[in-house]
């Protein structure tokens, strides 16, 4: 009986949520069509957005922009993974390294590193490199700190268990620390994705000739609002898909951590 | 009676950072015979768990002699295995994979591992749960896995650190009886640390009562009950007499609260 | 000798941490002494000493204060608005499961998306005056506050609510005695995250549509290759961000002493 209640409740949430979104879109469309005077320099309607979306998709422009932005994102993000995770591991495991690096890295993490964007663009130019470096700088810290937290949270008990069975250093890393840290790595990835997207957008707003961010800014400058909204919504959808995908991954990788939420 | 495990004049002081040093053991001397079931009882903090960890090889004493079957103990080794109070199962491994841990570290190939582990899982009565994860098991079941894991490497000495303390009373009684059965079949030397006088008296051949910190041997009490021992034995006056003997040795080491006495 | 060893042991984290930072600054300062930079690199290079000098120059000229003031106003007003809107909204959404379900898709979508993408739209609507920046700060800071507040409200132990209710408390008293104290640590966490987002909003907003403010100063300086000015700006943001988040963290841990270990969000 309890199970049924739960199912009904989550079903209810889904229905309400969907109704809310649909209602919002309808309201938007109706208000601007019949009630509020429509100024195309200022606002746009869902119907126009839909048309613009169709055009951008069929002309292939949308995918092209997406591809350009994704390329820089992937480069920067991969670098962040490859550098951030080992850093976090060493920091978590060797206390002296933690003591030395922690204040420095915390200071960097807490600062708006995007502030360096103009400088990076000036140094590295307007293309792939500049954007990728920016993405890297922004995405590397969540990995470092989450992996660090993950390693530190490894139960000492489990380390002792493996040691008592004769496990050496490498056994400790592979059989205890790494599996224990995996959910933290995924949580770090989730946060890093958000920050990385910020990096791409900032980079493209500031100085670029292609890409989703660039296009959004361009459409804004040229008052092409429907197209601009298409770009914005594309990013929203991507961001939501990626982050909720990560959350699901977190849950599957760590079923024993059920009941802990991280935002 | 062959002296099998020997410790002479063990001294150990902990020096935590920013806190006063704590002397856990100050000249602790101890002797266990081959194949016996020996319990260590003592007030909280008397060093009994610490001593068990020293025997396991996870902690090095400051001074003193430690021997197993004539060989010095210098670190962890597969002739000794521990069952931990908080179970210490790797949450990301199935029951089967957990039991295999010691064998894996010993370098035993997969098929041989599987066979041996299944055998032991059967011994502790968990065959149906081989592919379950720890978070799906009850406390008693988790501890059975811990026991199977400890037995998998066929150690000579089984160290048990308050293994049933985290279980409810009924499960505890059942586990005690099962432990005796398994001990009878495998003929290991068992060193068992507990707070419970009843448990010590029921399970052991001999009970060592320790003084308060720093711990020393206060008295050694022989348990003169026939084996196999059933639950009903615990209800006899002979058993109560034994408990009283242990209690008398122990009570002076405990701290009383003045206001609990009748004025 | 022993007391020196003891001192080191007790303060090892601080010593190692400070030493590392000082070492990095020192090495940085020494680079021009050790290598000769090509013409191109020299354009982009500056040293810590130079940055400090520029800092004082800018203060003397009054430049720094002018920009700082503008950014500060944007930050405070934007953050203030987000608190005024976010807290009550968070409480209401938290207490009402229906409202929660209705708003959830929007909140999730907006929270996952970098608020930055709305910047061109906001510039379109509000121009490059101070209000467009305030709005970006506002929407950046709003979501962490909103979400953490409503998590705090939702996570109230049902048992405690029932206990208080059984003593005859009405809805308002329940709020005061159980919900609000329970939510406080969550709110403060939300505030800490909001501050970080707010600063980000100031920086980014001023990069792209502004004529004043520290972010504007940085962007302009970068364009003119005044790397030392850029670093003055960045360091200033870093310092303020650190001070604010550390202070809030202290308050946070004071208030969270009764909480069981949660998974932290960075």
- The residue among C16 and C43 whose pLDDT is bigger is C16
C116: nearest Cα among A114, A174, A182: A114
Phi-psi region of B47 (alpha: psi -120 to 50; beta: other; left: phi over 0): left
A107 and C242: CB-CB below 8 Å? yes
Does pTM surpass 0.80? no
Query: What is the mean predicted confidence (pLDDT) over C190-205?
Result: 90
- As a whole number, the mean pLDDT across chain A is 86
**Does position B3 have pLDDT exceeding 80, yes or no?**
no
What band does A261 get if pLDDT is binned at 50, 70 and 90? very low
Query: What is the mean predicted confidence (pLDDT) over C146-166?
Result: 83
Question: CA of B52: which chain A residue's CA is closest?
Answer: A164
| Residue at token pair 């199935």 | B94
Q: Are the C-beta atoms of residues C136 and C78 closer than 8 Å to each other?
A: yes
Q: What is the pLDDT of residue A257?
A: 58
ipTM for the complex?
A: 0.81
Sign of CA dihedral A100, A106, A107, A109: positive
A203: nearest Cα among A57, A108, A76: A76
User: Residues 9..28 of C with a Cβ closer than 8 Å to B: which?
Assistant: 9-10
Q: What is the pLDDT of residue A196?
A: 92
**Does position C124 have pLDDT exceeding 60, yes or no?**
yes
Rounded Cα gap, residues C257 and A47, in angstroms: 52
**Does position C1 have pLDDT exceeding 80, yes or no?**
no
Rounded Cα gap, residues A133 and A139, in angstroms: 10
Contacts of A146 (CB under 8 A, 6+ apart): A88, A184, A185, A187, A188, A191, C266
What band does A116 get if pLDDT is binned at 50, 70 and 90? confident
B-interface mutation test, from A99, A158, A161, most B Cβ less than 10 A away: A161
Collect all residues of chain C within an 8 Å Cβ-Cβ radius of residue B19: none
What band does C70 get if pLDDT is binned at 50, 70 and 90? very high
Rounded Cα gap, residues A233 and C109, in angstroms: 10
Tell me A176's DSSP state: I
Q: What is the pLDDT of residue C224?
A: 85
The number of C-beta contacts closer than 8 angstroms across A and B is 56
C234 and A228: CB-CB below 8 Å? no
Query: What is the mean predicted confidence (pLDDT) over C53-76?
Result: 91
Q: What is the pLDDT of residue C259?
A: 62
For residue A66, count CB atoms less than 10 angstroms from its CB and return exposed for 0-12, middle for 13-18, buried for 19 or more: middle
Tell me the per-residue pLDDT of B225-251, one tens digit each, with 9 for 90 and over.
988 898 899 999 999 999 999 999 888
Contacts of A44 (CB under 8 A, 6+ apart): A32, A225, A226, A229
- The residue among B214 and C136 whose pLDDT is bigger is C136
Q: Is the Cβ of A198 closer than 8 Å to some Cβ of chain C?
A: yes
Tell me the per-residue pLDDT of A35-87, one tens digit each, with 9 for 90 and over.
777 777 778 888 888 999 999 888 888 889 999 999 999 999 999 999 999 99
For residue B72, count CB atoms less than 10 angstroms from its CB and return exposed for 0-12, middle for 13-18, buried for 19 or more: exposed
Q: Which of A73-82, A197-206, C123-132 has the highest mean pLDDT?
A: A73-82
Angle between helices A225-253 and A212-221 (to 10 degrees): 150
Tell me the per-residue pLDDT of B126-184, one tens digit each, with 9 for 90 and over.
999 999 999 899 999 999 999 999 999 999 999 999 999 989 999 999 999 999 999 99
Rounded Cα gap, residues A171 and A161, in angstroms: 11
Ranking A76-85, B29-38, B168-177, C166-175 by mean pLDDT, the lowest is C166-175
- The residue among A238 and C167 whose pLDDT is bigger is A238
Question: CA of C11: which chain B residue's CA is closest?
Answer: B18
Collect all residues of chain A within an 8 Å Cβ-Cβ radius of residue B102: 165-166
**Does position A201 have pLDDT exceeding 60, yes or no?**
yes
What CATH homologous superfamily does A44-257 map to? MetI-like (1.10.3720.10)
Rounded Cα gap, residues A108 and C237, in angstroms: 11
Tell me C262's DSSP state: P
CA B198 to each of CA A29, A171, B252, C247: distance values in angstroms, whole numbers, following the listed order: 77, 39, 18, 53
- As a whole number, the mean pLDDT across chain C is 85
Collect all residues of chain B within an 8 Å Cβ-Cβ radius of residue C10: 17-18
CATH code given to domain B1-79+158-164+190-263: 3.40.50.300
What band does B263 get if pLDDT is binned at 50, 70 and 90? very low
Q: Are the C-beta atoms of residues A141 and A85 closer than 8 Å to each other?
A: no
Structure tokens at B237: 């006056």
Collect all residues of chain C within an 8 Å Cβ-Cβ radius of residue A202: 116, 204, 207
A160 and B88: CB-CB below 8 Å? yes
Tell me the per-residue pLDDT of C202-259, one tens digit each, with 9 for 90 and over.
998 898 878 889 989 998 888 888 888 999 999 999 999 989 988 988 888 877 776 6
Rounded Cα gap, residues B149 and B141, in angstroms: 12
Q: How many CA atoms lie within 13 A of C161 on its CB side?
A: 15
Sequence ranges of chain B with CATH classification 3.40.50.300: 1-79+158-164+190-263
Enumerate the domain spans of chain A: 1-37, 44-257
Query: What is the mean predicted confidence (pLDDT) over C40-64?
Result: 86
Contacts of A98 (CB under 8 A, 6+ apart): A91, A92, A148, C13
Query: What is the mean predicted confidence (pLDDT) over A135-158?
Result: 90
Q: Which of A157, A167, A182 sits opposite B105 (nearest CB)?
A: A167
How many whole angstroms from its chain centre is CA A225?
Answer: 25
Q: What is the pLDDT of residue B222?
A: 92
Percent of chain B surpassing pLDDT 70: 96
Q: What is the pLDDT of residue A6?
A: 66
**Does position A2 have pLDDT exceeding 60, yes or no?**
no
B91 and A256: CB-CB below 8 Å? yes
Rounded Cα gap, residues C204 and C132, in angstroms: 11
Beta strands B3-14 and B157-161, pairing class: unpaired
Query: What is the mean predicted confidence (pLDDT) over C52-62?
Result: 90
**Does position B260 have pLDDT exceeding 60, yes or no?**
no
**Does position B74 have pLDDT exceeding 90, yes or no?**
no
Percent of chain A surpassing pLDDT 70: 94
């Amino acid at each position: 009986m309890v199970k049924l209640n739960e199912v009904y409740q989550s079903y209810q949430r889904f229905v309400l949520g969907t109704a809310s979104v649909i209602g919002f879109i309808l309201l938007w469309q109706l208000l601007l069509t019949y009630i509020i005077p429509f100024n195309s320099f200022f606002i746009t309607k869902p119907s126009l957005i839909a048309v613009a979306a169709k055009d951008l998709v069929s002309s292939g422009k949308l995918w092209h922009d997406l591809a350009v932005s994704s390329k820089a994102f992937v480069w920067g993000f991969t670098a962040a993974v490859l550098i951030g995770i080992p850093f976090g591991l060493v920091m978590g495991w060797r206390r002296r390294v933690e003591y030395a690096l922690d204040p420095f890295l915390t200071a960097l993490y807490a600062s708006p590193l995007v502030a360096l964007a103009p400088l990076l663009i000036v140094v590295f130019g307007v293309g792939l490199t500049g954007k990728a470096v920016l993405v890297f700088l922004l995405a590397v810290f969540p990995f470092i700190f989450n992996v660090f937290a993950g390693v530190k949270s490894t139960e000492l008990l489990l380390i002792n268990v493996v040691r008592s069975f004769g496990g050496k250093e490498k056994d400790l890393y592979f059989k205890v620390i790494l599996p224990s840290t995996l959910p933290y790595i995924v949580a770090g990835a989730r946060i890093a994705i958000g920050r990385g997207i910020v990096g791409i957008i900032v980079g493209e707003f500031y100085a670029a000739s292609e890409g989703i961010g660039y296009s959004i800014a361009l459409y804004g400058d040229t008052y092409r609002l429907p197209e601009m909204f298409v770009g914005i919504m594309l990013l929203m959808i991507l961001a939501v898909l990626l982050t909720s995908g990560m959350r699901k991954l977190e849950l599957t990788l760590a079923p024993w951590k059920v009941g802990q939420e991280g935002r | 009676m062959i002296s099998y495990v020997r410790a002479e004049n063990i001294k150990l002081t902990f020096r935590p950072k920013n806190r006063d040093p704590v002397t856990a053991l100050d000249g602790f001397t101890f002797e266990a015979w081959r194949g016996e079931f020996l319990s260590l009882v003592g007030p909280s903090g008397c060093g009994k768990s610490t001593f068990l960890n020293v025997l396991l090889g996870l902690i090095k004493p400051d001074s003193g002699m430690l021997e197993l079957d004539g060989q010095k103990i210098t670190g962890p080794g597969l002739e000794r295995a521990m069952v931990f109070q908080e179970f210490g199962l790797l949450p990301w491994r199935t029951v089967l994979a957990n039991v295999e841990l010691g064998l894996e570290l010993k370098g035993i190939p997969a098929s041989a591992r599987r066979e041996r582990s299944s055998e032991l899982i059967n011994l502790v009565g968990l065959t149906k749960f081989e592919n379950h994860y720890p978070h799906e098991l009850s406390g008693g079941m988790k501890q059975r896995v811990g026991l199977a894991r400890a037995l998998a490497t066929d150690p000579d000495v089984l160290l048990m650190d308050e293994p049933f303390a985290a279980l409810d009373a009924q499960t505890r009684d059942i586990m005690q009886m099962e432990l005796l059965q398994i001990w009878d079949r495998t003929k290991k030397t068992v060193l068992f640390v507990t707070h419970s006088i009843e448990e010590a008296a029921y399970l052991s051949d001999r009970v060592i009562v320790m003084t308060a910190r720093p711990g020393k041997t206060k008295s050694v009490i022989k348990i003169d009950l026939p084996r196999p021992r059933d639950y009903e034995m615990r209800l006899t006056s002979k058993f109560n007499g034994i408990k009283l003997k242990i209690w008398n040795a122990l009570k002076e080491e405990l701290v009383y609260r003045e206001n609990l006495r009748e004025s | 000798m022993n007391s020196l060893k003891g001192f080191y042991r007790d303060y090892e984290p601080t010593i190692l941490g400070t030493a590392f930072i000082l070492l990095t600054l020192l090495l940085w300062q020494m680079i021009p002494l050790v290598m000769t930079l090509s013409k191109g690199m020299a354009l982009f290079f500056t040293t810590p000493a130079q940055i400090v000098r520029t800092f004082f120059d800018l203060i003397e000229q009054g430049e720094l204060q002018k920009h700082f003031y503008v950014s500060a106003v944007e930050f405070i007003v934007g953050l203030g608005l987000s608190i005024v809107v976010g807290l009550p909204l968070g409480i209401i959404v938290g207490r009402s499961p229906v409202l929660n379900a209705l708003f959830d898709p929007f909140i999730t979508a907006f929270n996952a998306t970098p608020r930055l993408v709305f910047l061109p739209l906001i510039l379109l609507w509000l121009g490059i005056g101070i209000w467009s920046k305030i709005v970006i700060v506002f929407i950046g800071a709003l979501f962490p506050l909103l979400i953490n507040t409503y998590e705090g409200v939702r996570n109230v132990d049902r048992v405690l609510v029932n206990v208080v209710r059984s003593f005859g408390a009405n809805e308002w008293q329940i709020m005061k005695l159980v919900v609000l104290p329970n939510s406080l640590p969550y709110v403060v966490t939300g505030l800490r995250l909001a501050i970080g987002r707010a600063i980000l909003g100031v920086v980014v907003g001023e990069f792209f549509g502004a004529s004043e403010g520290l972010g504007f100063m940085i962007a302009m300086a970068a364009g003119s290759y005044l790397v030392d000015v850029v670093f003055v700006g960045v360091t200033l943001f870093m310092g303020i961000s650190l001070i604010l988040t550390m202070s809030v963290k202290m308050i946070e841990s004071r208030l969270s002493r009764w909480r069981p270990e949660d998974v932290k969000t960075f």
